[in-house]
Amino acid sequence: SPLSHIRNFSIVAHIDHGKSTLADRLIQSTNTVADRDMKEQMLDSMDIERERGITIKAQTVRINYTALNGEDYVLNLIDTPGHVDFAYEVSRSMRAVEGSLLVVDSTQGVEAQTLANVYHAIEADHEIVPVLNKIDLPASDCDRVAEQIEDVIGIDATEAIQVSAKTGQGITETLEAIVQKLPAPTGMRDAPLKAMLVDSWYDSYLGVIVLVRIMDGVLKKGERIRMLSNNSVHHVDRIGVFRPEMTVIDALGPGEIGFLTASIKQVRDTRVGDTITHEKKGTEDALPGFKPSQPVVFCGLFPVDSAEFEDLRDAIEKLALNDASFSYEMETSAALGFGFRCGFLGLLHLEVIRDRIEREYNIELITTAPSVIYHVYHKDGSMIELHNPADMPDLTLVSHLEEPRIKATILVPDEYLGDVLKLCQDRRGIQLDLTYAGSRAMVVYDLPLNEVVFDFYDRLKSVTKGYASFDYQMIGYREDKLVKMSILVNDEPVDALSTMVHRDRAEMRGRAMVEKLKDLIPRHMFKIPIQAAIGGKVIARETLSAMRKDVTAKCYGGDATRKRKLLDKQKAGKKKMRRFGKVDIPQEAFISALKMD
Ligand code: GDP
Ligand code: MG
């Protein structure tokens, strides 16, 4: 299609404001999908995404629309992930389109992720069309929300479209605005091929599928392409578009968005943001700002049943095929046996992978405490990145540690502001800003990432009864008093329970952990000291007293079968324990002790 009749756009919104529902309505009202094939949330394909109502991988759909002026347009929608963990994917996919629909729930108003996502759109120079959704609800207040968009975001909302993605009201106006207000893409058909790699994923039949936006030139089936980041060359065996099911076509021209397959084996061989060109007579001019996304949160994943280690390896390898931002390496723990140290983009990413292993592969997991990457400086000036507290070098060699910090933006109704400030303060936060948007406060804090990865988001939700919204970005590393806290059970250190903590909080954390462990570990025939220690110094201690009587003593030595049954039961109970030195520690202790209430 001619460039003038193409519109490429994304939808930016806070979670639950109606992005997926609006996409469904746009697809349905243009008969892109026959009514009988329509199912809710067309673009959210994975089960977990549907359940949690989030879209993780960017999805795309090509819509044919005959406008009220009688002309035919091709509209390409890229649905971007709506969560902070995937900020890099959001910013890349924004660069593949020229405009955005800014969807705001008119019963709620602007939220933290509305801001974060609209800033990506503004950075990508988008034309932005505000859409006020959920006008069918009695609590809808379009005037207030339009004013808020102008005050807080600073874009004109006088012509905001009033929509109900549920009833379909305002959908034609939305399609017309896409055609009338968003700019057509630009690009030169005769120039060397320059395409952006927007996303990629693994398909068990077709191998890796690559989503591309053509900037200049034409890409055809059968051609040889080259990735500028690593000069790898591939033969294109298929080209197509999503309607939203995959539809093969012959070529993609400037301004178009579609997919290619080229017998690429792993998602790892494709990098989001990379530039694709022809092998011969290609461009050398890479698209700006390419950087591979890096994991920031690490934890150990171990099978509850150690016999399932190979199954876990298999599951992790399969998941990694489709997710280049997830890293893993084998890890052995004296307490937990064989497992994997895995790296994630954030906590949600961690939870999604863990859930998928448990659900899709049916493997019960022990997850060790999430840890961030610390910079450990040696006295000789050299630095290592510490991904696992178990690898902390000898203290006599260490000069100081730095930890990653984030800039967190929280929007919260006035009445909960005090609780939010207290929470941020408790987590070693430094207040950067506090402003008002209507009856909502916007607070900006500089916080240590490690105080956020534990349970910050859950705490925030609970102190604000779910009314706060939260978003963050990494801002760099800073020195602080950080130490490794070890847990000793019966005088033996248990590696899987060690954590990095701030020195001033170590006693509190240590006490909480030993108290919990005392309740979780069953009594033995002997006394068991449970201690938290920094270096050689014990900072908290509990003692689990010895079991006084043999469980079989109650049987009066009489009934032999009853006695055997009891012993069998005891043995079965032991199976779910891991022996550590002379002490049996139940599996659940590893999970529970690390949870901070
Ligand atoms: P997303 O997280 O932005 O993709 O939001 P969804 O599209 O999943 O919508 C979140 C919830 O709001 C769902 O329960 C939708 O059914 C509901 N919803 C979306 N649009 C409307 C609307 O216009 N009116 C009403 N009443 N509910 C809506
Ligand atoms: Mg959604």
What does the alpha-carbon distance between residue 558 and residue 574 come to, in Å, rounded to a whole number?
A: 25
CB of 137 sitting under 6 A from ligand 1: yes
| Residues whose CB is less than 8 angstroms from the CB of residue 489 and which lie 6 or more positions away in sequence, other chains included | 517, 521, 528, 529, 530, 580, 581, 583, 585
State yes or no: pLDDT of 571 exceeds 70: no
CB of 174 sitting under 6 A from ligand 1: no
What does the alpha-carbon distance between residue 424 and residue 527 come to, in Å, rounded to a whole number?
A: 40
Residue 528 forms beta bridges with which residues?
544
Ligand lying nearest the CA atom of residue 165: 1
3-state helix, strand, coil in the chain (%, to 5): 30, 35, 35
Which of 113 and 339 is assigned the larger pLDDT? 339
Check the annotation: does 135 bind a ligand: yes
Phi, psi angles (nearest 5°) of residue 393? -65, 165
Check the annotation: does 591 bind a ligand: no
CB of 3 sitting under 6 A from ligand 1: no
Tell me which DSSP letter residue 95 carries: T
The amino acid at 412: V
Ligand lying nearest the CA atom of residue 13: 1
- Kindly indicate the confidence band of residue 57, based on its pLDDT and cuts at 50, 70 and 90: low
What pLDDT shows up at residue 432? 97
* pLDDT, mean of residues 381-390: 92
Pocket test for ligand 1, best of 11, 12, 16 (most atoms within 8 A of CB): 16
State yes or no: pLDDT of 86 exceeds 90: no
State yes or no: pLDDT of 206 exceeds 90: no
- Kindly indicate the confidence band of residue 48, based on its pLDDT and cuts at 50, 70 and 90: very low
What does the alpha-carbon distance between residue 425 and residue 121 come to, in Å, rounded to a whole number?
A: 32
Ligand lying nearest the CA atom of residue 135: 1
What pLDDT shows up at residue 50? 45
Check the annotation: does 565 bind a ligand: no
Which of 315 and 200 is assigned the larger pLDDT? 315
The count of other CB atoms within 10 Å of the CB of residue 576 is: 12
State yes or no: pLDDT of 470 exceeds 60: yes
pLDDT tens digits, 88-129: 777 788 899 999 999 999 999 998 888 888 888 998 899 999
Of 392, 421, 391, 387, residue with least CA distance to 404: 387
Tell me which DSSP letter residue 546 carries: P
Q: DSSP labels for 133-194?
A: E-TTSTT--HHHHHHHIIIII----TTPEE--TTT-TTHHHHHHHHHHHSPPP---TTSPPE
What does the alpha-carbon distance between residue 504 and residue 350 come to, in Å, rounded to a whole number?
A: 28
Check the annotation: does 20 bind a ligand: yes
* pLDDT, mean of residues 68-85: 84
What pLDDT shows up at residue 425? 94
What pLDDT shows up at residue 200? 84
* pLDDT, mean of residues 31-59: 55
**CA 10 to centroid of ligand 1, rounded, Å:** 17
Which of 9 and 91 is assigned the larger pLDDT? 9
What pLDDT shows up at residue 120? 86
**CA 15 to centroid of ligand 2, rounded, Å:** 7
Phi, psi angles (nearest 5°) of residue 329? -145, 155
Size (the chain), residues: 597
What pLDDT shows up at residue 568? 60
CB of 388 sitting under 6 A from ligand 1: no
* pLDDT, mean of residues 372-398: 92
The two tokens of residue 519 are 């309740």
Of 534, 541, 570, 535, residue with least CA distance to 553: 570
State yes or no: pLDDT of 363 exceeds 90: yes
CB of 80 sitting under 6 A from ligand 1: no
Pairing of strands 337-344, 297-303: antiparallel
CB of 16 sitting under 6 A from ligand 1: yes
pLDDT tens digits, 531-561: 999 988 999 999 999 886 555 555 455 556 6
* pLDDT, mean of residues 205-219: 93
**CA 165 to centroid of ligand 1, rounded, Å:** 7
Which of 39 and 26 is assigned the larger pLDDT? 26
pLDDT tens digits, 288-301: 866 666 788 898 99
State yes or no: pLDDT of 587 exceeds 80: no
State yes or no: pLDDT of 56 exceeds 50: no
ipTM above 0.95, yes or no: yes
* Closest atom of ligand 1 to CA, residue 167: 23
Q: Which of helix, strand or coil describes residue 38?
A: coil
What does the alpha-carbon distance between residue 483 and residue 518 come to, in Å, rounded to a whole number?
A: 23
- Kindly indicate the confidence band of residue 59, based on its pLDDT and cuts at 50, 70 and 90: confident
What pLDDT shows up at residue 49? 47
Provide the CA 567 distance to its chain's centre, in angstroms: 46
What does the alpha-carbon distance between residue 108 and residue 106 come to, in Å, rounded to a whole number?
A: 5
The two tokens of residue 540 are 């908290």
Burial call 206-243: b when 16+ CB within 10 Å, e when fewer: ebbbbbbbbbbbbbebebebbbbbeeeebebebbbbbe
CB of 52 sitting under 6 A from ligand 1: no
> Could you tell me if 6 and 74 are in contact, meaning their C-beta atoms sit under 8 angstroms apart?
yes
Check the annotation: does 18 bind a ligand: yes
State yes or no: pLDDT of 46 exceeds 50: no
Return the biggest CA–CA distance within the chain.
96
pLDDT tens digits, 225-268: 999 988 999 999 999 998 888 899 999 999 999 999 999 988 87
Q: Which of helix, strand or coil describes residue 107?
A: coil
* pLDDT, mean of residues 295-316: 91
**CA 169 to centroid of ligand 1, rounded, Å:** 14
**CA 76 to centroid of ligand 1, rounded, Å:** 21
What does the alpha-carbon distance between residue 133 and residue 110 come to, in Å, rounded to a whole number?
A: 12
What pLDDT shows up at residue 579? 73
Phi, psi angles (nearest 5°) of residue 470? -140, 140
What CA–CA distances, in Å, run from 107 to 119, 138, 240? Answer: 22, 8, 39
The amino acid at 226: R
Check the annotation: does 502 bind a ligand: no
Pocket test for ligand 1, best of 19, 20, 21, 140 (most atoms within 8 A of CB): 21
Which of 249 and 87 is assigned the larger pLDDT? 249
Check the annotation: does 133 bind a ligand: yes
- Kindly indicate the confidence band of residue 565, based on its pLDDT and cuts at 50, 70 and 90: low
Which of 276 and 371 is assigned the larger pLDDT? 276
* pLDDT, mean of residues 60-85: 87
pLDDT tens digits, 478-525: 999 999 999 999 999 888 888 899 999 899 989 999 999 999 898 988
Tell me which DSSP letter residue 438 carries: T
What does the alpha-carbon distance between residue 325 and residue 344 come to, in Å, rounded to a whole number?
A: 7
Which of 480 and 86 is assigned the larger pLDDT? 480
- Kindly indicate the confidence band of residue 79, based on its pLDDT and cuts at 50, 70 and 90: confident
Of 276, 251, 268, 250, residue with least CA distance to 198: 276
CB of 261 sitting under 6 A from ligand 1: no
pLDDT tens digits, 135-187: 999 999 999 999 999 988 889 999 999 999 999 999 999 999 999 999 999 99
What does the alpha-carbon distance between residue 581 and residue 521 come to, in Å, rounded to a whole number?
A: 14
* pLDDT, mean of residues 187-207: 89
Whether the bond between 413 and the residue before it is cis, its omega within 30 degrees of 0, is: no
> What percent of the chain has pLDDT above 90?
52
Check the annotation: does 19 bind a ligand: yes
Question: Mean pLDDT for the chain?
Answer: 86
What does the alpha-carbon distance between residue 530 and residue 518 come to, in Å, rounded to a whole number?
A: 7
What does the alpha-carbon distance between residue 14 and residue 343 come to, in Å, rounded to a whole number?
A: 26
- Kindly indicate the confidence band of residue 567, based on its pLDDT and cuts at 50, 70 and 90: low
Phi, psi angles (nearest 5°) of residue 67? -75, 170
For ligand 1, atom 25: residue with the closest CA? 134
